[in-house]
Structure 1
Amino acid sequence: MITAEGLRDLLEVRLLNERQAIVWGAKKSAGKSLNYIRQINDKMDLLNLEKNADVKKYLKLNQLFHFAVYNLSQNKVLMNTIEAHWLQAGPVLSLRRKEPKFVPGHHNHREIIDQLEKGNGLAAADALERNIMEAHEQIFAILDKSDLKDRAGNRVPA
């Protein structure tokens, strides 16, 4: 069972690794067209998030988008680390699916792509961080409504 504290720790580590992947990826993708990543994002735009099936598809496309971006770094060790963190975060992040109104969180994706194509790794990493933080804010709000406990079994605010 993950606690709010554990999720915050995981978030900090994810941000370090995923920002680094973006910075390295920007160096390798500068001046290149990232149309295949744009196409993933375009598919996310077209989904009807009123349908549960499309929410599941949205979350899969979101993961595909992020991993396509991180793979630009061409660093297998970093990719394995990011994948391990996503496996830990996945079950908690999927709580968003159960909310009565699913709120999409990919409006920063276009900026990430644009900045990567320009080779501006720091700006792309900043857009990525906003993207990740918005998703986590939604999760913390969901957890705050639940009966979240720390490792000692005490109720804690998210």
Structure 2
Amino acid sequence: MNQLVGKKPEHEAIYSEVKELILFGEVAPGQPLTIHGLANLIGAGVTPVREAIRRLTAEGALESLENRRVAVPKMTVEKLQQIQLVRLSVEPALAELGAKKCSKSDFSELERLDGLVDQAIQNGDIRRYLEANYRFHFTLYEKADAQILQRITESLWLQIGPSLRVNCGRFGTSNLVDQHQEAISALRNGDMDGVKQAFEGDIQQGMDFVRQALDE
């Protein structure tokens, strides 16, 4: 089981494991899944996997199909537009709230995570890029202690992650521009507007990257 899950109650650990499969694009959009198939994939019992599927379906990360199967929903232009609208409204504000509570040790952790993002881009390691990018954003978001905003953001990342993985596989990571350094520099300078602008640019880049395939 993924070591990032950590020590949690079994049902929470299984939920996190299935969530990360979706979040980091290990399950392709439209790919049918069954409870038993997922249970075998992650080496877990059927009951906690069933509960994880129920929760993730309620969060919009999965949709129900016939014959008790589920799938990651396919992305559409209309859905992407809505996701972009909410992300650009919520996440820069969440980043600003988190930035106001950051310490020097938090700056160092963000620098470390940004280094992992850069390394993954250089190596063309899509899974590690998606994971490190997620950890960077949510390390700052969690500092905000704004649970409603964070839940909204988590749901949107679950919906966009699989499509981002597909596009990275199609176009590679070489064209991705890491804008995290601008955010970190703004953080160190206490420039909250700079933090918001850097996150807006980073989010817009990711959304444009997904739209690139939908427009073709």
Residue 32 of structure 1 corresponds to which residue in structure 2?
Answer: 104
Matched residues in 2 for 1:86 and 1:143: separation? 18
TM-score normalised per structure 2: 0.60
Task: Kindly indicate whether the alpha-carbon contact (under 8 Å) linking 1:26 and 1:118 is maintained by their aligned counterparts in 2.
Answer: no
> Which digits, 9 at most, give the CA deviation of each residue in 1:73-109, with x for residues without a partner?
1222221111111111112222222214323535210
Query: Which segments of 5 or more consecutive residues in structure 1 lack a partner in the other structure?
Result: 146-158
Letter in 2 for 1:60: E
Residue 65 of structure 2 corresponds to which residue in structure 1?
Answer: none
Matched residues in 2 for 1:134 and 1:37: separation? 19
Task: Kindly indicate whether the alpha-carbon contact (under 8 Å) linking 2:126 and 2:169 is maintained by their aligned counterparts in 1.
Answer: no
The change in CA–CA distance for 1:7 and 1:25 in structure 2 (over 3 A counts) is same
Selected match of 2:83 from 6, 10, 16: 10
Letter in 1 for 2:78: E
Q: How far does residue 48 in structure 1 lie from its aligned partner after superposition?
A: 6.0
Residue 199 of structure 2 corresponds to which residue in structure 1?
Answer: 128
Matched residues in 2 for 1:48 and 1:139: separation? 17
Structure 1 segments, 4+ long, off by >4 Å, are: 48-51
Matched residues in 2 for 1:43 and 1:73: separation? 23
SS of the aligned residue for 1:24 comes to helix
TM-score normalised per structure 1: 0.80
Matched residues in 1 for 2:188 and 2:130: separation? 24
Q: What are the within-5 Å matches in structure 2 for residues 65-144 of structure 1? A: 65-103=136-174, 105-144=176-215
Q: How far does residue 49 in structure 1 lie from its aligned partner after superposition?
A: 4.3
Identity %: 28
Matched residues in 1 for 2:87 and 2:180: separation? 17
RMSD: 1.9
Residue 19 of structure 1 corresponds to which residue in structure 2?
Answer: 92
The change in CA–CA distance for 1:136 and 1:103 in structure 2 (over 3 A counts) is farther
Q: Which has the higher contact order (CA 8 A, sep 6+)?
A: 1
Q: What are the within-5 Å matches in structure 2 for residues 39-54 of structure 1? A: 39-47=112-120, 49-51=122-124, 54=125
Matched residues in 1 for 2:123 and 2:101: separation? 38
Matched residues in 2 for 1:94 and 1:46: separation? 17
Letter in 2 for 1:70: Y
The change in CA–CA distance for 1:91 and 1:123 in structure 2 (over 3 A counts) is same
Matched residues in 2 for 1:127 and 1:48: separation? 19
Matched residues in 2 for 1:48 and 1:65: separation? 14
- The number of residues matched between the two structures is 142
